[in-house]
A and B are shown apart, each in its own frame.
Chain A
């Protein structure tokens, strides 16, 4: 337990110590709101699909959350290069605990960034359809954060340096985000795109988040939570296994 706590605390402390990184991470979501929200909003509305800003807000919140979560997991690569990783590899605590602590810490900071984006959306005019469901929406975002922090951690244990980072971002994380229905309604997408979305690990967490924030959804909440939790457990297990076997 202590190991989980201390690794969580470390991630959180480091997060609050780099305000530049927090502010920097808000640039992209704001750009998305402006370009898509204001740029495409009229087209979206004229097509009879409703208020695009309302549709977009959960998607951009998810974007910030998963990017931050994957990045936090891949922090492990920096720890390998700066050496701190060794300190945790020889510590007399279960490696799974070290890893769970890291993932929870990364997920916490990713969730904080996602919530910051939600706050910006609210400032820009977004309103959750039911404020009482907000805690449930935040829980859904936390699940998404855990899933992607665990995914990032798995990549982090397998990669030796940051050179592969753009590869992972451009060929794995970006497609997962763009094809998940974060930016467009899956209901009106082509059959091919829908088929891809169904195997996209973000689709279900995205759907839960949108349902709880706006009331609109493609799937049932039970399916959304079931798939996201199952995937989180799978990636927690995979990354614990990879980290447990890690040698230097």
Chain B
């Protein structure tokens, strides 16, 4: 005879805390307008904690604009966003504590050394000295820049800068990593190296990875789920297998082309430039 288990008083409390963050990223009806131009159009998507999620789309489809809204540097026109349970508009500070990001374009201080760039990042993210130094050494070795740690970044090649940028983004071990075309311009060796590190981090720390890329085989190999965005709208969402099945194609690249067409797109214009162009043309300020 097994006696009935007594109720656990703390359980109610625990549940309420864990249920709030099952989806680490929740996006509902997210829209961003720059004047008449709709960069992101009613996007809804959620990403579970520990997922590796690929966000694909042609140039100018709205990938970077979406990431900017998720990472507190651009306010949405409409819709709601939650990152780690927090709203980037009302609780930017809590959101910023939850994520790390590797931007699409460079964001290093070229007048500082590799080590100083890392160190300043660590200080901004509140890592204590010994931990900071240990991680800097580990990560710089990992991206093969340890021997160049005291060189000014301005002396680095494009690939070296990219590697440093990735190392810096990984430094504070965030819950969510946003990687906006992280492997652009890197050779296959470095890309493989980088992804195996990220996959490992995903396993050991349960880090959520949200990334964009133009390398389809990368998305197919790495991502659990893939969203394809075009003209600001999500046109497909699922595993690589379901996307291929949906479109009746053999590779993800073919599926991507079937979903987004063969027309060549303009490079994505900076959002602020878009606002400026719009203001210049129309002379009013209704951009949000």
Report whether A91 and B74 are in contact in the complex, using a CB–CB cutoff of 8 Å: no
Report whether A248 and B74 are in contact in the complex, using a CB–CB cutoff of 8 Å: yes
Q: In the assembly, what is the distance between CA of A17 and CA of B270, in Å? A: 31
Q: How many residues of B contact A (CB 8 A)?
A: 32
Q: How many residues of A contact B (CB 8 A)?
A: 27
B residues with a Cβ closer than 8 A to A are: 68, 71-75, 93, 96-97, 99, 101, 103, 105-112, 116, 120-121, 123-126, 152, 270-272, 276
A6 within 8 A of B: yes
Q: In the assembly, what is the distance between CA of A242 and CA of B108, in Å? A: 23
Beyond A10-B120, A160-B272, A248-B74, 6 additional contacts (C-beta under 8 Å) are A6-B120, A9-B120, A18-B111, A82-B110, A83-B107, A247-B74
**What sequence of 0s and 1s flags, for each residue 140-161 of chain A, a beta carbon within 8 Å of any chain B beta carbon?**
0000000000000000000010
Report whether A83 and B101 are in contact in the complex, using a CB–CB cutoff of 8 Å: no
Q: Which of B68, B93, B101, B106 contacts A248 (CB 8 A)?
A: B68
Q: In the assembly, what is the distance between CA of A18 and CA of B110, in Å? A: 13
Instruction: Tell me the A1-46 residues at the B interface (CB within 8 Å).
Output: 2-3, 5-6, 9-10, 13-14, 17-18
Report whether B120 and A247 are in contact in the complex, using a CB–CB cutoff of 8 Å: no
Q: List chain B residues, Cβ under 8 A from A86.
A: 73, 103, 107
Q: List chain A residues, Cβ under 8 A from B73.
A: 86, 89-90, 247-248
6 CB contacts below 8 A, A to B, read A9-B120, A18-B111, A79-B109, A84-B108, A91-B124, A248-B271
Report whether over half of chain A's contact residues are helix, strand or loop; otherwise say mixed. helix
Q: List chain B residues, Cβ under 8 A from A17.
A: 111, 152
A92 within 8 A of B: yes
**What sequence of 0s and 1s flags, for each residue 182-196 of chain A, a beta carbon within 8 Å of any chain B beta carbon?**
000000000000000
A88: nearest chain-B partner, CB-CB: B124
Give min CB distance, B248 to chain A, whole Å: 40
A199 within 8 A of B: no
Q: Which 10 A-B pairs have the closest CB atoms?
A: A92-B96, A83-B107, A92-B97, A91-B124, A83-B106, A86-B107, A6-B123, A87-B107, A84-B109, A248-B73
Q: Which of A10, A91, A248 contacts B109 (CB 8 A)?
A: A10
Q: In the assembly, what is the distance between CA of A233 and CA of B121, in Å? A: 28
Give min CB distance, B105 to chain A, whole Å: 5
Instruction: Tell me the A116-160 residues at the B interface (CB within 8 Å).
Output: 160
Q: List chain B residues, Cβ under 8 A from A82.
A: 106, 109-110
Report whether A90 and B112 are in contact in the complex, using a CB–CB cutoff of 8 Å: no
